[in-house]
Chain A
């Protein structure tokens, strides 16, 4: 039995009301709000969040492969899945691959994953899908595109949903696209985009699969399928195929927006949150063709542990102050430079040498005195520790991971002097549960709510981009317990 072992999702804390765009530009008022990645988030960091969420409470069997699917990987030539895998502290033997190039990459990767598991080349695969597409200011896409991620842990055996069959169509048609070097999404004339694209190709795959399996819409509990950016066409696909409106999974347009390649998998996560044993789900994704799958939910779904997935992430939110803040976070404005020191060159060798400290947030625990200790590899002290900061034992350390530990604020400041995209910069010294202390930036926080003793958790973020060298520098920050 091959299928979903566990699932997870991530929706950024921040939302912006579509009213803000209307206020800025006028035009057509689209209702609702959309999820907005913080200035320090991108598709890699959101994939990490969703991946961690998917591993919550799932059995900790070894992961053989880590796949990352996105149309917005920050690198053209550097494997995003290798970054995510290092962040999750997976061993180097893990198979990594990036899937990109289409809004359908999430399900293209899913089909490859299922093939690998069935062929016996991998037993357990973690697939993370994330997207942060940009619409140009003053356009509809600016209002409709949202940011988000989802992850599926796939394997054989004790699955919560068996994936019994699949069906795919390839079609060269692209109603929306981005060429190499494009910052913003492009689109063809929208009647054709929908009539000849989405509304023709997606149902072909869905009905094709149903015919192949001798099933009708009545045989399904839910139809979970991609929505176009013009969400009004979403329901029509389902009802024309014969699904009742109640069977069609909500595409979260009013709350999250269209999250590109991640949308279908996020919707599947939402459906699995509500799913009961023996439910049958038709799952489909669209983009230069379409993929469709049948999922049959098993009893194991009742034993799956708590996760944040869609529901909790949706409920926990904070509105972006205004449209200017949104433009600043997306890097769409040239702002006056702070009169602060320029960033010194980023050292690739330093980042690589300290990858376990930086990306996996590994410290050390002294086996002589038992003290867990984290040495920030960027600070004046040096890392990794060779001599214990308490008992001075030399080289008596075992690896100790801080990324999954909760912590408490020991002291903090709100720094207005430092150059920052969301001033003031909140910097806090935190003490970890089980020992160890370190100093981190705090993100996704309301400065007025930060106080001594406040519980925090670690979150993987992009610290900055070094444009002169094309380096995205990732690291961990603290945040108030999200939900």
Chain B
């Protein structure tokens, strides 16, 4: 009989580099900085790590378990590379958690890294494999922009209304990023700046797109019963879910392009695993996969934070500002989303992102989030999306004290 992962595993140490265009740092520098911060935070010696899972997407960030074992000189340990596109970081964590829960190992490391900016490209890199090349000439923003086109049409938002709603998502994340010294973009922006920015892929403009960044993040996990031996304030895993698409969105006419079914299902399963019946009320804060502003908008509905088709109300309508950290810090009822700036401002080194999200939830739960500290958070959620919205892999993690 399958069991829930709830309260079986704890995170006892985490590390995260600053994200950004880190011209002077290699993937090795980033991995070592993140992993050693996590070791120190957990109070473990590198040789205490019994197994590791490393998340990278691009092969030039590293291949195989060697991607982590060589830079970290993990000697003769079982190390495996996890690649589940942008959700790789969440999946590396899932593997490490399941391994300690199965009592195969006592201490495991999940680490993610991406060194993107050595490619010299605008946006993300390409798929290096020999191919038939009959895909449309889409880019990541183009693929997600198609959600926005359809969302506006379905819910009767004029392009101006729709773009303003999406723009406020980015304004909110920039406010948070400006309060985070590790973020890639640490500058507040106004809605006028966002709306004036050049269009990347209609209707998404420059500020609707997340940063393309270098960075790394790491977590040390142990079984829950051992956690207090490492630190007084371990953070417990309440749910770990992965939900993977099967090519349905571009094949089946019943996909509506206004939601992401995999997010909905991963969220619903995570809530069930964690014993949550009203996510909007019970989740204290979330880091979701805001690769583009529209992704965050539909994710609010798919995670049941906003009713279907009504996210506008929580952004610009009757409950405007519900997802802002600002409102939470002012002591008002809110569900702060992307308190660390999100992919939008913290940045998006692909393999690291899932663990970076977790880093903020971990720090917030421990009361160590500095100027961004949310008052008494109980449960934090991370939502990590890999691949196109028509057939993604979703990682959804819920953590709490």
**B142 in contact with A341 (CB, 8 Å):** no
A415 to B203, CA, bound (A): 9
- Residue of B with least CB distance to A346: B133
Q: Which of B133, B141, B147 contacts A343 (CB 8 A)?
A: B133
The A-contacting residues of B in range 133-157, CB under 8 angstroms, are: 133-139, 141-143, 145-147, 149-150, 153
Contact with A along B117-130 (1 / 0, CB 8 A): 00111110111111
Chain B residues with CB under 8 A of A338: 122
A20 to B364, CA, bound (A): 64
Most chain-B CB neighbours within 10 Å: which of A381, A435, A440, A475? A381
- Shortest CB-to-CB span from A339 to chain B, Å, is 5
Chain B residues with CB under 8 A of A416: 198-202
* A412-B149, A415-B145, A415-B201 known; A345+B252 contact, CB < 8 A: no
Whether A427 is near chain B, meaning CB under 8 Å from some CB there, is yes
**B128 in contact with A417 (CB, 8 Å):** no
Residues of A contacting B: mostly = loop
Contact with B along A361-386 (1 / 0, CB 8 A): 00000000001011111111100000
Whether B387 is near chain A, meaning CB under 8 Å from some CB there, is yes
* A414-B199, A424-B202, A441-B137 known; A339+B121 contact, CB < 8 A: yes
Whether A463 is near chain B, meaning CB under 8 Å from some CB there, is yes
**B146 in contact with A341 (CB, 8 Å):** no
Whether A464 is near chain B, meaning CB under 8 Å from some CB there, is yes
**A417 in contact with B141 (CB, 8 Å):** yes
- Shortest CB-to-CB span from A93 to chain B, Å, is 26
Chain A residues with CB under 8 A of B131: 344-347, 350, 378
Chain A residues with CB under 8 A of B129: 344
Whether A90 is near chain B, meaning CB under 8 Å from some CB there, is no
**A411 in contact with B246 (CB, 8 Å):** no
**A464 in contact with B133 (CB, 8 Å):** yes
**A452 in contact with B153 (CB, 8 Å):** yes
Q: Which of A350, A351, A389, A415 contacts B141 (CB 8 A)?
A: A415
A439 to B246, CA, bound (A): 16
A389 to B249, CA, bound (A): 10
- Shortest CB-to-CB span from A190 to chain B, Å, is 43
* A378-B133, A437-B251 known; A418+B127 contact, CB < 8 A: no
Q: Which of B122, B138, B251 contacts A415 (CB 8 A)?
A: B138
A452 to B157, CA, bound (A): 14
Chain B residues with CB under 8 A of A341: 119, 121, 125-127
A342 to B245, CA, bound (A): 28
Whether B247 is near chain A, meaning CB under 8 Å from some CB there, is yes
Chain B residues with CB under 8 A of A354: 132, 134
Whether B192 is near chain A, meaning CB under 8 Å from some CB there, is no
**A420 in contact with B253 (CB, 8 Å):** no
- Residue of B with least CB distance to A409: B149
- Shortest CB-to-CB span from A138 to chain B, Å, is 32
Whether A410 is near chain B, meaning CB under 8 Å from some CB there, is yes
**A347 in contact with B387 (CB, 8 Å):** no
**B150 in contact with A410 (CB, 8 Å):** yes
Whether A63 is near chain B, meaning CB under 8 Å from some CB there, is no
**B133 in contact with A438 (CB, 8 Å):** no
- Residue of B with least CB distance to A374: B251
Chain B residues with CB under 8 A of A377: 132, 134
Chain A residues with CB under 8 A of B161: none
- Shortest CB-to-CB span from B19 to chain A, Å, is 20
- Shortest CB-to-CB span from B190 to chain A, Å, is 23
- Shortest CB-to-CB span from B76 to chain A, Å, is 35
Chain A residues with CB under 8 A of B130: 344-347, 350
Whether A390 is near chain B, meaning CB under 8 Å from some CB there, is yes
Whether B4 is near chain A, meaning CB under 8 Å from some CB there, is no
A344 to B253, CA, bound (A): 31
**B138 in contact with A376 (CB, 8 Å):** no
Contact with B along A444-483 (1 / 0, CB 8 A): 0000000010000000000110100000010100000000
**B134 in contact with A358 (CB, 8 Å):** yes
- Shortest CB-to-CB span from B248 to chain A, Å, is 6
- Residue of B with least CB distance to A352: B132
Contact with A along B177-203 (1 / 0, CB 8 A): 000000000000000000000111111
Q: Which of B141, B257, B391 contacts A429 (CB 8 A)?
A: B257
A390 to B219, CA, bound (A): 39
Whether B75 is near chain A, meaning CB under 8 Å from some CB there, is no
Chain B residues with CB under 8 A of A350: 130-132
A425 to B119, CA, bound (A): 23
Whether B319 is near chain A, meaning CB under 8 Å from some CB there, is no
Whether A340 is near chain B, meaning CB under 8 Å from some CB there, is yes
- Residue of A with least CB distance to B203: A413
Whether A226 is near chain B, meaning CB under 8 Å from some CB there, is no
Chain A residues with CB under 8 A of B251: 373-375, 381, 389, 436-438
Contact with A along B365-400 (1 / 0, CB 8 A): 000000000000000000000011001000000000
Most chain-A CB neighbours within 10 Å: which of B128, B131, B132, B252? B132
Chain A residues with CB under 8 A of B121: 339-341
- Shortest CB-to-CB span from A129 to chain B, Å, is 27
Whether A33 is near chain B, meaning CB under 8 Å from some CB there, is no
A413 to B142, CA, bound (A): 6
**B253 in contact with A427 (CB, 8 Å):** no
Whether A291 is near chain B, meaning CB under 8 Å from some CB there, is no
Q: Which of A339, A347, A389, A427 contacts B247 (CB 8 A)?
A: A389
- Shortest CB-to-CB span from A452 to chain B, Å, is 5
Chain B residues with CB under 8 A of A411: 146-147, 149-150, 153, 257
- Shortest CB-to-CB span from A38 to chain B, Å, is 14
Chain A residues with CB under 8 A of B125: 341
Chain B residues with CB under 8 A of A98: none
**B136 in contact with A441 (CB, 8 Å):** yes
Chain B residues with CB under 8 A of A49: none
Chain B residues with CB under 8 A of A379: 135, 247, 250
* A339-B122, A411-B149 known; A440+B136 contact, CB < 8 A: yes
Can you add 4 more A-B contacts, CB < 8 Å, to A340-B139, A343-B126? A347-B130, A417-B201, A437-B255, A452-B153
What residues of chain A have their CB less than 8 Å away from a CB belonging to chain B? Answer: 338-347, 350-351, 354, 358, 371, 373-381, 389-390, 410-420, 424-425, 427, 429, 431, 435-441, 452, 463-464, 466, 473, 475
Q: Which 10 A-B pairs have the closest CB atoms?
A: A341-B126, A381-B247, A415-B142, A413-B145, A378-B134, A411-B150, A414-B202, A350-B132, A415-B201, A347-B130
A-B contact pairs, 10 of them (CB 8 A): A343-B126, A344-B129, A344-B130, A375-B247, A379-B135, A414-B199, A418-B142, A425-B136, A437-B253, A464-B133
